[in-house]
Amino acid sequence: MDISQKEWRDIGGEFVFEQLNTMTPYGSQRKAAKRFYRPQHREELLEELRAVEAYLQALKEHPSSIHYLQYEFCRVKDIRRSIERAKKGGILEDLEFFELKIFIDVIEELMAKYPLMHTTLACELRGLDELRERLDPEATGRMTFYIYDAYSKRLTLLRKHQRELEARISKEKDEQKKEELLRERSSLLIAQDKEEREIRMELSAIVQRHADTILGNMDALARLDHRIAKAVLAREYGGCMPEIAESGGIELSEAINPLLSSILAKKGEDFQRISIRVPTGTSIVTGANMGGKSVSLKTILLNAMLVHMGMFPFARAATVSLFDFFFYLGDDFEDISAGLSSFGAEIIKLSDVLKKSQRQRGMILLDEPLRGTNPREGRAILLGIVRRYIGTDHLLMVSTHFESLVEEGMLHYQVRGLKDVDFDALASQIEVDREASLSRIRKSMNFCLEEVEAGEDVPRDALRISELLGLDATLIEEIKELL
C-alpha cells in the first residue's frame, strides 16, 4: 500500500473494503492482498475490470444465477495447506479427505451453475472426476468420508472377519478361549490399520497427481468470488467501468466517496457529487474551510486508487491513467509520535516523495500542507515544491489557504462555496435556529470545484461564515478593514 493504513482509513478505503463481501477463504485472501496494477500491468488490469463488468451485467440480468454461486461459496473451507502437503508427498487424514470431497462437490456445482449467468467469460474451474470417483467408490453422492470396504477386497475380508470374531467373543463363556479370540482380534485390527494406511497413501498419491489442478481451482475460485464481490459493490454504490488512458491524469463525473456519503446520510444530508478533470502537472485548489477541499481530494484519491486495485470507481463515468505510486499528505502524521513536530514530519514526507518522483510517476495529493509554520516561509516552501511538477507527467494536486501561489503553467480550482447564497435569507434562518447553524451553512455550501483563472481572488467565505456564526459585528468590520 502506497499510503499508510491510517490514511487509507481516512480517505474511505477501509470502509469500502468492509463492504466488499467475499465469501470464500480464497476470495478473502485475494481481497486482503490489495494488489495494485501499475502502468506495466495495464492489460492485466483491463482483464480484471472486464470480468467485473461481465459479472455486474450478469447481476443485473440474471441475479438468481449469482446467488446460486454465492450459496456454493459459503460451503468452501480453506484446504490449501492439506493439498500443498499432499503435493510434497504427505499422507492426508480422514478429515482432510472429507473437506476435499466437499471442495470437489462445490467445484462441480459451480461449473454446472456458471452457464446460468450467460456471461461471455469462460469458466476457469476444472473438473476432478478421477479424484471424486475415488473418494466416493460406492457412488453414493453423500458428503461424508470413510475408508469404505469398497476401497480394498482385503479390507472387506478383514472387516468381515472382525465382525465374525466380535460375535464369537460376545457369546464365548470360556475365559481362556475368549482371551485367545481377543488376541486374534487385536492382530486383526493391526492388519486393518495397516490396510487403511495404505489406502490413505494411495488416495494421497492421487491427490498429489491432481494437486496443481486443485490449487488452480482455488485460485480460479478466488478470482470468481472476489470479482463478483466487486460487481455487487459496484451495483450498490453506482460504480462504472472506467476508461484506462495511456497517459494523462484523471477525470471523474459525479463521483462519490461511500464513507463520507454514509456519514452525511446519518445526519440526514446528501453527498454532493464531484465532477472534475485533473491533468498531469500542478493543480492548486483554494476555498474556505468547510468548503469541501479535503472531501474533494479524498474522493479523487480513493476512486483513483480503487481503479488501480481492479475495482470500479464510484462515479457516473471515469477516465484514469495509471501511476507507479500514490502519495497523500493529510492532517495527521504518524512521525509525530516519534518526537517530530508536524512541520518536521511534513518536510521528511515531502522530501521522500520528491526523491521518489525522480524514479517513478506519481499521483500526489497534499491537503493544506505546511499550515503549521509561518505563512511567509510556508508559502515559499510550498511554491518551490509545486513549481517542480509543472509540465511533468506526475499529477500533483494541492489544497491550500496560501494566496498568490498559482503561477503560469498551473491549473487553479476553486470551491464554489457560498458564491450563490442569499446571505440575508441564510442569516435569518440561522437566527431562528442557531443550534443548527453549522448544518445549515453546510447544506448551503456548493462543494463543486470549478477551474478559474490563475489571478482570480480567493473567496472570502471564511469571513462570511464567521459572521453567520455570530462573531462580534464590530470585530467583523475591523477584520474587513484589515483585508
**Average pLDDT of the residues of the chain:** 86
pLDDT in tens, 402-443: 877 888 999 998 876 555 555 555 556 555 455 566 565 565
Which cell numbers in the block locate residue 430? 440561522
Q: Among 177, 205, 237, give the residue marking a domain's end.
A: 237
Q: Tell whether 440 is covered by a domain.
A: no
Q: Do residues 208 and 339 both lie within one domain?
A: no
pLDDT of residue 334: 46
284 class by beta-carbon count within 10 Å (0-12 exposed, 13-18 middle, 19+ buried): buried
- The tens digit of pLDDT for each residue in 69-82 reads 999 999 999 999 99
Over range 285-309, report the average pLDDT: 87
Could you give the C-alpha distances from 38 to 20, 30, 306, in angstroms and in order? Answer: 22, 17, 12
Angle, helix 42-61 to helix 293-308, in steps of 10 degrees = 100
Q: Mean pLDDT, to the nearest integer, of 350-367?
A: 94
Question: Is the sign of the CA dihedral 131, 135, 140, 145 positive or negative?
Answer: negative
d(CA 339, CA 449): 37
Instruction: Give the mean pLDDT of 332-346.
Output: 58
Report d(CA 177, CA 380) in Å as an integer. Answer: 104
Rounded-to-integer distance, Cα 364 and Cα 358, Å: 13
* Spatial separation of the C-alpha atoms in residues 231 and 252, rounded to whole Å: 19
- Do the bridges between strand 281-286 and strand 325-329 make them parallel or antiparallel, or are there none, so unpaired? unpaired
Mean pLDDT value of segment 380-405: 91
Q: Which long-range contacts (CB under 8 A, 24 or more apart) does 5-13 make?
A: 6/332, 6/334, 7/328, 7/330, 10/298, 10/330, 10/332, 11/257, 11/259, 11/298, 11/301, 11/302, 11/305, 11/328, 12/257, 12/258, 12/259, 12/260, 12/298, 12/302, 13/302, 13/305, 13/306
Q: Does residue 340 sit within a domain?
A: yes
Q: In terms of domains, do 188 and 51 share one? A: yes
Is the pLDDT score of 302 beyond 50?
A: yes
Specify the higher pLDDT residue, 57 or 146: 57
Confidence at residue 385, expressed as pLDDT on a 0 to 100 scale: 93
Distance CA 397, CA 278 (A): 8
d(CA 426, CA 345): 41
pTM: 0.86
Q: What is the pLDDT of residue 165?
A: 76
Could you say which of 186, 208, 237 is where a domain stops?
A: 237
Report the DSSP beta bridge partners of residue 278: 250
| Domain boundary residue, one of 237, 254, 272 | 237
Q: Are residues 388 and 260 located together in one domain of the fold? A: yes
> Does the residue 156 lie in any domain?
yes
How large is the average pLDDT for residues 200-216? 95
Q: What is the pLDDT of residue 337?
A: 41
CA distance 350 to 341: 14
| Cell numbers representing residue 188 in the block | 486383526
Residue 285 within a domain: yes
Q: How many domains does the chain have?
A: 2
Domain membership of residue 296 as a residue range? 243-417+448-454
Same structural domain, 79 and 216 = yes
Number of CB atoms found within 10 A of residue 434's CB? 13
Backbone angles phi, psi at 481, to 5 degrees: -70, -25
Residues 355 and 287 in one domain: yes
Integer Cα distance of 147 and 197 in angstroms: 10
The 3-class SS string of 146-182 reads CCCHHHCHHHHHHHHHHHHHHHHHHHCCCHHHHHHHH
* Residue linked to cell 446519518: 266
What CATH number has the domain bearing residue 354? 3.40.50.300
Whether residues 105 and 133 fall in one domain: yes
Which residue in 76, 75, 81, 74 sits closest to 21, CA to CA?
Answer: 74
Q: Is residue 387, in this structure, part of any structural domain at all?
A: yes
User: In this structure, are 194 and 256 located in the same domain?
Assistant: no
Does residue 466 belong to any structural domain of this protein? no
Q: Are residues 228 and 133 in the same domain?
A: yes
Question: Would you say residue 277 lies in a domain?
Answer: yes
- List of E strands, 287-350: 317-321, 325-329
Residues 155, 261, single domain; the answer is no
53 grid coordinates: 463488468
Whether the CB-CB separation of 247 and 393 falls below 8 Å is answered with yes
The packing angle between helices 94-113 and 175-237, to 10°, is 40
The SS3 call for residue 448 is strand
The verdict on 189 and 114 lying in the same domain is yes
What does the pLDDT read at residue 346?
86
Same domain for 306 and 253, yes or no, is: yes
Average confidence (pLDDT) over 285-308: 86
Query: How many Cβ atoms from other residues are within 10 Å of residue 400's Cβ?
Result: 24
Query: Is residue 303 domain-resident?
Result: yes
One domain, residues 101 and 140? yes
Quote the cell numbers at residue 146. 470413510
Query: How many other C-beta atoms are found inside a 10 Å radius of the C-beta of residue 170?
Result: 9
